[in-house]
Amino acid sequence: MPHTAVRDRRAALEWGAYALAGSMLSTTGHAQTIPAPHTLNNPGTVMQASDRLPLGSSDITVSPLGVGCMGMSEFYGPTDAAEVQRTLDAALERGVNFFDTADMYGRGANEELLAPLLTGRRDRIVLASKFGIVRDANGVHFDNRPDYVKRACEASLRRLKTDYIDVFYAHRIDRKHPVEDMVGTMADLVREGKVRAIGLSEAAPATIRQAHRIHPLAAVQTEYSLFSRGPESEILPTCRALGIAFVPYAPLCRGLLSSQARDATHLGPGDFRQALPRFQPTNFVHNQALVERLAEYGQRQGCSSAQIALAWLRAKGNDIVPIPGMRSVRHLDENLGALSMALSGDDVAAIEALLPIQAVAGERYSDAELMTVGL
Ligand SMILES: NC(=O)c1ccc[n+]([C@@H]2O[C@H](COP(=O)([O-])OP(=O)(O)OC[C@H]3O[C@@H](n4cnc5c(N)ncnc54)[C@H](OP(=O)(O)O)[C@@H]3O)[C@@H](O)[C@H]2O)c1
């Protein structure tokens, strides 16, 4: 039985119904309305300090679910600032201590948004940020050179109004410059007390091993979800062999695994999913039919497809800490409810039978962006 984050409750899931759910897949080729569950499992779940998980071999422990903050500033269309604040405060109240940002989200605005959260309660929060994706007058490029790493760290600290970052990730690997120099500089930041632990994002297994030899990595962050199973072949086993925590980003496939997804033509201005292959109309219809399987299945258990998607990730191991993005207390509570669902091996197999690897239509990024990941 996998770790149950909230020990006193176990959702009464009857996963045996999955075979029936499989027959629910739309064969019409038209987008279906995904049913919402009538009631959700344990919305408002509160986590305890004893539920925390170690982040690799570092001395950092985190809640079994973090909050991805990117969408609070950019990429997913207009944001309700007051509701975002309520969501951040509610997350802390409910025992979430792991918050994920990056210097490039909102061009620094996302880190500034999190500064008030840290004030007066810095020791209650594990703040992860990232450097290396530079947006300037020349467009978007990567920079992992030592001098840049140091400057990026100082700038993040200023914006966050704090004197240390808990987990400092290289957001992308810049192959133009030696990885050793970048990691060596990150290690210097640890020695200087500006960073507690380091990590890589979207790195290849060889890069992970190379970096880990120079300084222990606490975490590796890569896209991983029921729709993005790539890390299972090499990245996850590499992390496990080295004792590095794995942080799945976009665990809901940018919302596609939830009941609220819309196709590219219905997304608002500034929503970067308009450019993602999986949200293009034809792919979207196919993908939504897959999610419909999950939703029908979940509906019988009183849980949403998003909750199943998160519970599935959690069931993969205590070294896996998903960071779903959310901008409302409603989504926060729904997602935390997933922590009460202790899936068995049979449950996991059933869910994977509903959404087989490779069933999703469309790559997770555009061709140009795919060139920049897994380096
Ligand atoms: N390392 C990297 O390169 C990288 C890349 C991308 C993201 N990230 C990190 O990973 C985090 C998560 O990824 P993501 O935000 O891109 O994708 P995600 O977590 O897969 O999905 C976020 C989307 O799902 C929606 N959502 C969340 N909970 C929901 C629920 N219970 N029901 C229905 N919809 C729900 C959100 O809506 P609302 O916003 O309206 O609540 C948002 O549209 C980011 O915030 C960021 O910190 C890292």
Q: What is the 3-state secondary structure (H, E, C) of 89-147?
A: HHHHHCCCCEEECCCCHHHHHHHHHHHHHHCCCHHHCEEEEEECEEEECCEEEECCCHH
Q: Which of 3, 54, 92 is nearest to 314 (CA)?
A: 3
| 106 contact partners, CB below 8 Å, separation of at least 6 | 73, 74, 113
How would you write the pLDDT of the chain (375 residues) with one tens digit per residue? 333 333 333 332 322 222 222 222 233 333 445 555 544 555 567 888 889 999 999 999 999 999 999 999 999 999 999 999 999 999 999 999 999 999 999 999 999 999 999 999 999 999 999 999 999 998 999 999 999 999 999 999 999 999 999 999 999 999 999 999 999 999 999 999 999 999 999 999 999 999 999 999 999 999 999 999 999 999 999 999 999 999 999 999 999 999 889 999 999 988 999 999 999 999 999 999 999 999 998 998 899 999 999 999 999 999 999 999 999 999 999 999 999 998 999 999 999 999 999 999 999 999 999 999 989
Which of 18, 76, 105, 169 is catalytic? The answer is: 105
Distance 309 CA to ligand 1 centre (A): 12
8 is a domain residue:
no
Q: How many domains, the chain?
A: 1
DSSP string, 276-307: -GGGSHHHHHHHHHHHHHHHHHHHHHT--HHH
202 CB near ligand 1 (under 6 Å)? yes
Told to judge if 249 belongs to the known catalytic residues of this protein, a careful annotator would answer no
- What pLDDT sits at residue 102? 98
142 CB near ligand 1 (under 6 Å)? no
Distance 326 CA to ligand 1 centre (A): 6
187 is a domain residue:
yes
Structure tokens at 210: 């190379």
- What pLDDT sits at residue 108? 98
Q: Which of 342, 278, 295, 358 is nearest to 22 (CA)?
A: 295
114 CB near ligand 1 (under 6 Å)? no
Domain carrying residue 30 = 15-370
Q: What is the CATH number of the domain that holds 253?
A: 3.20.20.100
1 is a domain residue:
no
* 243 burial type by CB count under 10 A (0-12 exposed, 13-18 middle, 19+ buried): middle
Backbone angles phi, psi at 268, to 5 degrees: -75, 170
Edge to edge, the sheet with strand 217-223 lists 67-68, 98-100, 126-131, 165-170, 195-201, 217-223, 245-249
Atom of ligand 1 nearest to the CA of 307: 31
Atom of ligand 1 nearest to the CA of 69: 45
280 is a domain residue:
yes
286 is a domain residue:
yes
Distance of CA 186 to the CA centre of its chain: 22
Q: How far is CA 226 from CA 62, 136, 145, 310, in A?
A: 23, 34, 35, 9
Pocket probe for ligand 1: among 171, 249, 263, 335, the residue whose CB has the most ligand atoms within 8 Å is 249
287 is a domain residue:
yes
Residues 271 and 264: their CA atoms lie apart, in Å, by: 9
In eight-state DSSP terms, residue 255 is T
Q: Give, in degrees to the nearest 5, the angle at Cα 145 between 143 and 150.
A: 100
CB 317 within 8 A of CB 38: no
97 is a domain residue:
yes
348 is a domain residue:
yes
Distance of CA 79 to the CA centre of its chain: 19
Q: Indicate if the alpha-carbon torsion angle 25, 294, 36, 281 is positive or negative.
A: negative
Closest protein CA for atom 40 of ligand 1? 327
- What pLDDT sits at residue 269? 87
168 CB near ligand 1 (under 6 Å)? no
- What pLDDT sits at residue 50? 85
In eight-state DSSP terms, residue 271 is B
In eight-state DSSP terms, residue 372 is T
| 5 contact partners, CB below 8 Å, separation of at least 6 | 45, 47, 51, 63, 64, 65, 314, 339, 340
Backbone angles phi, psi at 255, to 5 degrees: 95, -10
Secondary-structure percent of the chain, ordered helix, strand, coil, rounded to 5: 45, 15, 45
Atom of ligand 1 nearest to the CA of 222: 1
Q: Indicate if the alpha-carbon torsion angle 41, 322, 261, 74 is positive or negative.
A: positive
CA dihedral 105, 267, 68, 195 (to 10 degrees): -10
- What pLDDT sits at residue 34? 55
